[in-house]
Amino acid sequence: MRRTRFLTGALLGLGVLLSAAGPVAAAAGDDEPKAPTEAGTSFRTAAAFEQGQKATASASTGDYLYWSFPADSGQRPTVRASVDLPEAQARHGAQTWRIDVYDGLRRRQSCQYGTQARTVAADAARVDLACTLRTVRAWSEPWADDPLPGTYYVRLTVTSLDDADLGLPVSASAEATSKEIGGAAAVDGSLSTPLTATTASDDHDWSSGWWTSRWLWTGAGAVLAALAGIGGYALTRGAGRPARV
């Protein structure tokens, strides 16, 4: 009887814990930042989103659309943007759209590959753009424009069109994903703070700091060198001794 009561109490307690965990998990999920549904019109008003999220915005043809996202050392970000164009009947000619990516110091970063600008015909319904940056480095010379950890800005706009098409409504989206390159592109040194235009209190905590996979290779090399030195010493010491009579 006591054993039955004990099992019944344990099951009831487990049920209470599971029922309480549901609202807590839901509350924790609500704290996660959501992708923005509008874009900024300048660097200062850029709408922030996280890698893996898809930011969207409704705008007018001719507007400058700005978003921002964080990137850490060892990552090779790829930025993709798309624009759903107005109905073909409302347009008067071809359009050229372009995305540019800037670092936290507002230096334009070159694209390794991807279609950074594209011209579409007057009857096209959509334009897709992409830009894959160079691998973000942990440290660089002051005069270099290497991509460094921090905030990156995406600017999307139309660069060529018929004047009669200015102001037509469009729907745009932007997203960023990264391939982890790691120690293959790591260099010695690190930034004191990520490159970002925000204050120190607004810095992200995603920066990996000083650790990279190069430390593993460095440690393994040191161990092998030490073992080789000990082995060589033992061999030469044994070979140099005269034979005892």
Render each residue's pLDDT in the chain as its tens digit; 245 residues: 544 454 444 444 545 444 544 544 444 455 678 999 999 999 999 999 999 999 999 999 999 999 999 999 999 999 999 999 999 999 999 999 999 999 999 999 999 999 999 999 999 999 999 999 999 999 888 788 899 999 999 999 999 999 999 999 999 999 999 999 875 555 555 555 666 664 333 454 555 555 555 556 566 677 778 777 777 777 776 655 555 54
| Bridge partners (DSSP) listed for residue 196 | none
DSSP 211: -
What is the predicted pLDDT for the residue at 238?
61
What is the predicted pLDDT for the residue at 144?
85
DSSP 42: S
Q: Is 7 exposed, middle or buried (0-12, 13-18, 19+ CB in 10 A)?
A: exposed
Domains of the chain, with CATH numbers? 47-202 (2.60.120)
Which residue, among 72, 32, 74, has the nearest Cα to 53 in the 3D structure? 32
Distance CA 97, CA 84 (A): 11
